[in-house]
Amino acid sequence: MPIIVCGINHKTAPVALREQITFPPEKIALYLNDLLTQEDIHEAVLLSTCNRSELYCVAEDVERVTEWFCRQHPLTPMEILPLMYLYRDQAAIEHIMNVACGLDSMVLGESEVLRQMKDAFSESCAASTVGTLFNRLFQEVFAVTKEIRTTTAIGACPVSVSSAAVNFIKEIYPGQFNQATVLVMGAGVTADLVMRYLKSSLPHRILIANRSAQNAAILAKKYQCDYICLTKLAEALIEADIVISATGSPAPVILKSMLVSRKKSLFIIDIAVPRDVEPAVSELDFIHLYSIDDLKTIIQQNVRGREHAAEKAREIIKQKSHDFMMWLNSLDKVATTIRAYRNQVEDLCRIELSKAEKQLRRGDNPAEVLASFSHALTNKLLHTPTVQLRQAGHEGRLEILKLAQELFAISGPESELI
């Protein structure tokens, strides 16, 4: 059964399109159930992050898979298909491994995507869309990722989108960073990482804003700073010099109307997908708005230092994906061979059983009929293997005899066996 990957990422689509091709986390289970009930798809995992939306599945019909993917979003297939990539079998396995290792990330070697993939896998397991094949595949993916991070320098001096955002704002902010008031939007994993890098940079004040005041309070306590609920966002925007936004909101949180009266500069880094900041905000004179795609320049500095490690990691992935496909193909061959052998034996049984039934209807002694049936069936089952083994012995092909002993679990004194 083919393994298929289809999706879009930061390499194929800008943020303005990526934010329209997402799978909201609270609806992942619904998407997965729809996949397996309405489509000819046997196993599935959905991964949706700020930089990619991908479907991993086991399915026969690639076209139906891409059709399903396109139907889930407001854009037309004509708009989505040119942005999509499609991989199958070994290429698909390589891609999944590359993603898990951070080799396909905007920030080369970042580790956050592994956590996101593990979460996606867990969601799929909970939705019962992971079977024997994907369970084996993803365990192999996670093992390969661990090996690569242990044996290569791909994870050395880790950089993430969050750290890139902090470094970016420190480079472009014209004032003294240690005198700035920074407003962090969100209280999830990404916002937590932003806070970690901000605290080491020592801005004058950090303020956390989140829809859930409880979650904001937890993060604020961890980093010993202030927090507000989004109901007081307008007031916080007046006070802030810098905004770094990373919420999970499906719609913009910061609107142009909130900032029209502002008369001093405000630097906003929006690393959320879908975006947290209304694009029209960039039209205002004192607002400097940057999206996640604007971080690519600073991120490229990180890429150049890791290319050697990345090449080594890709070599490992190519070999591991090849090994997995060899194992997978062997399953098909084994299943085909077993099925053919079973059919052959059943055909022999039917022939001898038909003879025995005729003898019984004729009135022959049942005990003699059973004995004859047993003797005839045994001879027919052993005839071809016996001929082949004798031929192998005659030709000196002793490895065939050893294989037969292993296959049929034949045991006896070593002097009597090969």
Residue 43 has φ and ψ, to the nearest 5°, of: -145, 150
**Tokens for 176?**
């003294």
153 CB-near residues (< 8 Å, 6+ apart): 306, 308, 309
In eight-state DSSP terms, residue 179 is G
Closest C-alpha to 33, from 68, 6, 8: 68
Closest C-alpha to 248, from 186, 158, 163, 325: 186
70 CB-near residues (< 8 Å, 6+ apart): 76, 77, 80, 81
CA–CA separation, 90 and 290 (whole Å): 38
DSSP β-bridge partners for residue 209: 185, 228
287 CB-near residues (< 8 Å, 6+ apart): 259, 262, 265, 266, 268, 281
101 is a catalytic site residue: no
User: Alpha carbon of 253 to those of 206, 294, 316: distances in Å?
Assistant: 19, 20, 43
Write down the catalytic residue from 50, 70, 101, 225. Answer: 50
Contact 15, 293 (CB under 8 A): yes
Q: Is 38 exposed, middle or buried (0-12, 13-18, 19+ CB in 10 A)?
A: exposed
Question: What is the CA 239 to chain-centroid distance, rounded?
Answer: 41
Q: Which residues are catalytic?
A: 50
